Amino acid sequence: MNETNYDIVQNQYSQKQKSDIWDTAFGLQKVDNLEPSDYMKKQAQQHIENKIEYADIENNIKSYYENSQERSTMEADIVSLRAAELLSRNGFKFSPATLLGIHKYLFTDTLPANIPVGKFRHYNITKKEDVLDGDTVFYDDFGMINDTLEYDFTKESKLDYNVLDKRTKVFNAMNFISNIWQIHPFGEGNTRTIAVFAIKYFRILGFEVDNSLFKEHSKYFRDALVLANYHKIGKTSEYLDKFTENLLLAGKNELEISINFDKKI
pLDDT tens digit sequence for 163-190:
999 999 999 999 999 999 999 999 999 9
pLDDT at position 261: 61
pLDDT at position 13: 83
d(CA 221, CA 100): 21
Domain positions in the chain are 13-89, 92-265
- Architecture of the domain delimited by 92-265: Orthogonal Bundle (1.10)
- Kindly report, residue by residue over 103-121, the tens digit of the pLDDT: 999 999 999 999 999 999 9
Tell me the percentage of the chain whose pLDDT exceeds 90.
Answer: 81
Q: Over 70: is that where the pLDDT of 154 sits?
A: yes
d(CA 230, CA 4): 52
pLDDT at position 224: 96
* 227-to-71, 138, 216, 237, 240 alpha-carbon distances in Å: 33, 11, 19, 7, 8
- Kindly report, residue by residue over 50-86, the tens digit of the pLDDT: 999 999 999 999 999 998 777 789 999 999 999 999 9
